[in-house]
Amino acid sequence: MPTAPAAEAPAPSITRFGLGTAAVGRPGYITLGRDLDLPAERTVDALRERTHDLLDAAFAAGVRYFDTARSYGRAEEFLGAWLAARPGAAAEVTVGSKWGYTYTAGWRASGVSAHEVKEHSTAVFDRQVRESLAALGRRPDVYLVHSVTPDSPALTDPALHARLAGLAAEGVRVGLSTSGPAQAAAVRAALAVTVDGKPLFSAVQSTWNVLETSAGPALAEAHAAGWLVVVKEGMANGRLADRNATGPDTAALRELAARTGASCDALALAAVTAQPWADVVLSGAATTGQLASNLGAAALALDAAALAGLAPLAEPAEQYWRTRSALPWA
């Protein structure tokens, strides 16, 4: 395995990596180049098989965190079937899921007005927590309010807070995921939420990558408060994959890859694991080859000079999220 520049810290353990199922739990998603990655016929059976292949490969490599959501098509169902068929593995893994979006695409990749609809209400929580339990065949270890923004009622609704506190009392780590240019504000607002004088939330899943670094300080605060910090979209929905990192905006990443012999995707994820507050870094791989390349980040420890060389890639948060929102569902 090629090595990065001299490290100031050891390379991260493979257990700091997780596998997300957004790209394989439904026929449509926004990862660039996805048409090249999935079977031509995106049937339920074909994507179930692909999901199970990825879970098998990830577990064999040492990954022990698996991420899913109610809105990822049938991803919870696929993961639940995998867990049921492998009780030994199921006992070792941490399962994170999310509620708050309802999948509405009807197993179609295109031609729909909306693939998912967001609602952070007690009614949706009551329905989706039951659905998650049924699909997974167990309580998730981590259950997040999906895509919280500063205006979300998940930050202010006492009735919802009581529901979430009840779930936490059953041993589930309750938290939120964030999206959009105000991720940091959402995390800080969540840090202040209490029920009966105690912090309600104890986990967060946020986007952080070398193009979008704005949430970093707030995630460091969450980590310092004892929260589990999970990082999603470390490859910016495929923008940092070798086949897509071709423009001037990613030149520094390509130059580092050329110097070290490492892939762009592994370097991008290594830049995430270099953040001391990042507990789990998700791979969103759609093939086992992509997963193996992503997990190559576990052999890389970027030194301060390498990280400084990547720092100019960061975009203004508003620009990054405008670009993301324009990505096509494929």
Task: Write the pLDDT tens digit of every residue in 127-170.
Answer: 999 999 999 999 999 999 999 999 999 999 999 999 999 999 99
End-to-end CA distance of the chain: 32
> For 272-281, what is the mean pLDDT?
98
Tens digit of pLDDT for each residue in 285-329?
999 999 999 999 999 999 999 999 999 999 999 999 999 999 988
> For 102-121, what is the mean pLDDT?
93
Q: Is the pLDDT of residue 3 over 50?
A: no
| pLDDT, mean over the chain | 95
pLDDT of residue 113: 86
pLDDT of residue 111: 84
Q: What is the 3-state secondary structure (H, E, C) of 101-115?
A: EEECCCCCCCCCCCC
pLDDT of residue 238: 95
Confidence grade of residue 10 (pLDDT, cut at 50, 70, 90): low
Neighbours of 193 (CB within 10 A): 15
* Rounded Cα distance, 184 and 215, in Å: 5
Confidence grade of residue 330 (pLDDT, cut at 50, 70, 90): confident
Q: Is the pLDDT of residue 4 over 60?
A: no
Cβ–Cβ < 8 Å for 252, 226? no
Cα dihedral 83/88/91/97 (nearest 10) = -20
| Closest alpha carbon to 73 in 37, 105, 35 | 105
Q: State pTM to two decimals.
A: 0.95
Identify the bridge partners of residue 99 per DSSP, sorted by sequence position: 145
Residue that the structure tokens 């059953």 belong to: 170
Confidence grade of residue 1 (pLDDT, cut at 50, 70, 90): very low
Tokens of 84: 């049921």
pLDDT of residue 6: 40
> For 70-76, what is the mean pLDDT?
98
Q: Is the pLDDT of residue 5 over 70?
A: no
* Residue 238: its H or E element: none
pLDDT of residue 131: 98
pLDDT of residue 275: 97
* Rounded Cα distance, 267 and 293, in Å: 10
Q: Is the pLDDT of residue 58 over 60?
A: yes
> For 225-237, what is the mean pLDDT?
98
> For 243-251, what is the mean pLDDT?
94
pLDDT of residue 146: 98
